[in-house]
Structure 1
Amino acid sequence: MAQSNLYARVLGTGSYLPSERITNQALADHLAQQGVETSDEWIVARTGIHARHFAAPDQTTSDLALIASQRAIEAAGIDPQSINLILIATSTPDFVFPSTACLLQNKLGIRNNGAAFDVQAVCSGFAYGIATADSFIRSGMARTALVVGAETFSRILDFKDRTTCVLFGDGAGAVVLQTSDEAGVLASALHADGSYSDILCTPGNVNGGVVSGSAFLHMDGQAVFKLAVNVLEKVALEALDKAQFQPQDIDWLIPHQANIRIMQSTARKLGLPMERMVVTVGEHGNTSAASIPLALDVAVRDGRIKRGQNVLIEGVGGGFTWGASVIHY
């Protein structure tokens, strides 16, 4: 039976970017060797991205998730053994199965303590994960949840396609949520429309031991942009309405860090000043499901986000999926 007086409250945040930082100029030089022309100016003007980080050849998605999770657990001041729900939002899992969440559980040394599973909603994955963990906690099915967004998108990029390969990077972000009678995750809204699946996809599958179809990311940039700016405003307003908030009640907007123009458009539509939007896309590019928790952790650790403030997170990704949550930090 649901216990309506329970909230899922954020106890700690953590993030991790791989050590290999690739500037726009370094990427442009590499692409030039393959006959692909681009430049720092071209990338910055269209995306706001200055650099991205790529995982080392021997680093897996669960490796990135582990470091972000350890930092979040340390910030939360909890025993890892108290975690009885692990969710990893990822589109780049270590294996077909088992889930990356199970692999992370093992690396954290947690044994047979609640559920662990992956959430696949691409760039909306962390928003989906927060809403799912919130539901588990409010229902009493979990008490302490670890929600992670982790990606190694560099592994699925076609470096002959400058419209996509300049956009993405690798990284991980994590939050620890715990049952509380104080306000925490106040409201969420989630949506999907599979009729748009072709405008952003990696349309490959394993068949007979080999990849059938394409294992590279494919994107119709203009179609994605148009859809994103439309649904992000609507889902943000829906989540705010559920929380009985107005946009001006929000202290910080943390949109999916994909493209500065989409992010600025969303802030304008909500009537929020740009200085109340957390922007980290310039340093790590689009890290898909990792981007929101990465930005959240940066803003918490540099002191911008303080206890008692209201945060709106929102994401949109392949599927097509989109979602938002209002969080009283």
Structure 2
Amino acid sequence: MSITVITGTGCYIPPVIKKNSDFVPGKFYTENQLPINVPMPDVIEKFRLITGIKERRYAADNVSASHMAAQAAKLAIEDAGIDAEQIDQIIVAHNYGDVLHGAIQTDTVPSLASRVKHQLGIRNPNCVPYDILFGCPGWLQGLIQAYSFIKSGMAGTCLVIGAETLSRVVDVHDRDSMIFSDGAGACIIEQKETAQLSGGVLGTCTRSDCMEELNYIHFGSSYAPEKNGDTCFIKMKGRKVYEYALKHVPAAMKACVDKSGVSVKDIKKIFIHQANEKMDEAIVKAFYALYDIEDVPALIMPMCIQWLGNSSVATIPTLYDLVRKGNIDDQQLNPGDIILFASVGAGMNINAVCYKHI
């Protein structure tokens, strides 16, 4: 019997801490370029109550997304106990490539995956590196893609990474700039032949809505009236994103669980994209409501957004690595635990993976 399992994980948490109070000297504007005439401490406190974010991490000036990706990858490879030369595919999820500190231009040629392969010193020409752009669900979609290649027999070992430096593409005059952060997370996923173990990936689900939802998250001009409109930054229609996520993510999570043939009552942990604390809590509550379960199980949803912010594709693999290695208080994984991964983001895209921990 063959199973497809995650055998190693790693993450890179940047050293630069940006606290909420660091935004007090700034000036925020509305999307109509009108000043927000509310004291900054009040704006920031309201932000904390909604998102749960108290601080976030930014990459050091001399560190790029591909550098963070390679560091997370090294830890995952070491954790899996494999030779990097045996990796068949390197899949790097990101949205903006490498962005130099002080610049806004993205750099994606060569691909970040190729840069990671170079930094890892992998010479095997049969190791294929490529990038995936899928919004915040990119790492999870990379995991789904790796699983598909392994199931088809076209790969045996894949390295899947999510890395981003969102701090370099934010508009400092937009309140939403306080949400975003930097980081990287990685995993090794392999095919294992075993007569004793059962587990690994049990089922997947992906959905995309690209009509009126297309520009809920997009690149746009600064909200500051004095800024050059030709320079673009990450922009988000927060209310639209919230409504979309609450409407569709719980259903996708349920579809994944039902497809996997497990009971919702057997789920031990839900690793959801760390986008917004209140939104994530509402999504999980709505998910259980689809099974007519009113009370969400205690400690079902680990979180790290409070101190790491929203690092897009890096949130889930980073959180999973932290819990897997016992680095989140009151959160742990045990062999046989059923896990549900879920994410939502630009596209608009949604995905979910049901997984049995070994």
TM-score (norm 2): 0.84
Partner of 1:207: none
What are the equivalent positions in structure 2 for 1:102-181 lying under 5 Å apart?
102-111=114-123, 112-162=125-175, 164-181=176-193
CA offsets 1:265-321 (integer angstroms, 9 cap, x no match): 122123332411111111111110100001101111116022221110000001111
Aligned-pair CA distance for 1:114: 2.3
- How many pairs does the alignment contain? 317
Q: Partners in 1 of 2:84 and 2:343 — Cα distance? A: 28
Partner of 2:104: none
Matched, 1:83 2:72: no
Q: Partners in 2 of 1:274 and 1:148 — Cα distance? A: 30
Partner of 1:284: 308
Select 1:315's aligned residue among 343, 351, 358: 343
Select 1:252's aligned residue among 245, 251, 269: 269
Q: Partners in 1 of 2:343 and 2:298 — Cα distance? A: 17
Matched, 1:185 2:192: no
Q: Partners in 2 of 1:52 and 1:312 — Cα distance? A: 25
Q: Partners in 1 of 2:27 and 2:349 — Cα distance? A: 34
Q: Partners in 1 of 2:298 and 2:232 — Cα distance? A: 37
Amino acid at match of 1:256: H
Corresponding residue SS for 1:128: helix
Q: Partners in 2 of 1:105 and 1:30 — Cα distance? A: 41
RMSD of aligned alpha carbons? 2.0
8 A Cα contact 2:214 2:347, kept in partner: yes
CA offsets 1:44-100 (integer angstroms, 9 cap, x no match): 101001111111222110011111111111111111111111111100212232210
Percent identity of equivalent pairs: 31
Matched, 1:38 2:40: yes
Select 1:6's aligned residue among 2, 7, 15: 2
Corresponding residue SS for 2:159: strand
Q: Partners in 1 of 2:149 and 2:257 — Cα distance? A: 21
CA offsets 1:233-256 (integer angstroms, 9 cap, x no match): 011011111101222121100000
Amino acid at match of 1:304: Q
Give the stretch that moved more between structures: 100-109 or 71-80: 71-80
Matched, 1:297 2:309: no
TM-score (norm 1): 0.91
Aligned-pair CA distance for 1:33: 10
Partner of 1:58: 62
What are the equivalent positions in structure 2 for 1:224-239 lying under 5 Å apart?
224-239=241-256
Amino acid at match of 1:29: V
CA offsets 1:80-137 (integer angstroms, 9 cap, x no match): 1111111111002122322101110110011223211111111111111110000011
Larger helix fraction of residues: 1
Aligned-pair CA distance for 1:212: 9.4
Corresponding residue SS for 1:31: coil
Corresponding residue SS for 2:144: helix
Partner of 2:279: 262
8 A Cα contact 2:28 2:172, kept in partner: no
8 A Cα contact 2:273 2:343, kept in partner: yes
Structure ID, larger Rg = 2
Change (3 A) 1:239 1:214: farther
Q: Partners in 2 of 1:298 and 1:128 — Cα distance? A: 20
Partner of 2:352: 324
8 A Cα contact 1:65 1:150, kept in partner: yes
What are the equivalent positions in structure 2 for 1:193-204 lying under 5 Å apart?
193-195=209-211, 196-202=213-219
8 A Cα contact 1:43 1:50, kept in partner: no
8 A Cα contact 1:255 1:314, kept in partner: yes
Q: Partners in 2 of 1:158 and 1:32 — Cα distance? A: 11
Aligned-pair CA distance for 1:29: 2.9
8 A Cα contact 1:247 1:270, kept in partner: no
